Amino acid sequence: MFCSGCGHALQPGQPDCPQCGRPVASIIPPIPNLDFQLHDYAGKIRALSIVWFVYGGLALVLGFVGLTFANAFFNRGFGPWANAPWGGTGVPPWLGPAMHVAWVVIILRSALAFAAGWGLMDRTQWGRIVAIVAAFLSLIKFPIGTALGIWTLVTLLGYRNSTLYEQL
């Protein structure tokens, strides 16, 4: 270390220059580096993966409750609609296949959310890709899916974020 006034060599811990008497400048703390950014980004990825797990569980539970209610409503009816809500008897022919398609969609959507959460928790490359795909598909599920989709895309896309994710 050298004096900023006269250039004289200084010993570590010396408060001022012995030649010119100028006080020694304090050491500037280092600027946060990549380790700090990686630690911060790892926390964001962990929080994002937990929210994907919660979203998948919530989608599965609410889908199960909603389809169970719809099945009971259309097959047996409620209250004044003892036989069928549309005034006829029996179940419409399109309802059975439509209910099966709805079950498959709910299970696939929940499985995709769980896979995104798991992949992000393990910080795998396929997890990032699955989370981006799940985010694009969740954008139409207003408001929670839209918010989660935007948060995921902002966190995972971009050059800086992709290089930080690869460093994890």
Name the one residue in this structure whose structure tokens are 């910080």: 123
**Any domain includes 22:** no
**In one letter, which amino acid is 93?**
P
**Any domain includes 140:** yes
Which residues make beta-bridge pairs with 16? 23
What pLDDT shows up at residue 41?
A: 93
- Residue 57 belongs to domain spanning: 44-167
116: left (phi over 0), alpha (psi -120 to 50) or beta: alpha
* Helix, strand, coil % in the chain, rounded to nearest 5: 65, 0, 35
**Any domain includes 4:** no
Q: Cα torsion at 129, 123, 44, 154 (round to 10°)?
A: -20
Number of domains in the chain: 1
Residue 106 host element (H or E): helix 95-122
What pLDDT shows up at residue 55?
A: 97
Which of 60, 42, 55, 30 is CA-nearest to residue 121?
Answer: 42
Which residues make beta-bridge pairs with 23? 16
Which of 109, 111, 106 is CA-nearest to residue 66?
Answer: 106
Which of 48, 62, 40, 41 is CA-nearest to residue 149?
Answer: 48
What pLDDT shows up at residue 145?
A: 93
Per-residue pLDDT of the chain (168 residues; tens, 9 = 90+): 778 778 888 887 788 888 888 887 776 665 567 778 888 999 999 999 999 999 999 999 999 999 988 877 777 666 555 555 555 555 677 877 888 999 999 999 999 999 999 999 999 999 999 999 999 999 999 999 999 999 999 999 988 888 889 888
**Any domain includes 54:** yes
**Any domain includes 88:** yes
**Any domain includes 66:** yes
Model-level pTM greater than 0.95?
no
10 Å Cβ neighbour count for 52? Answer: 28
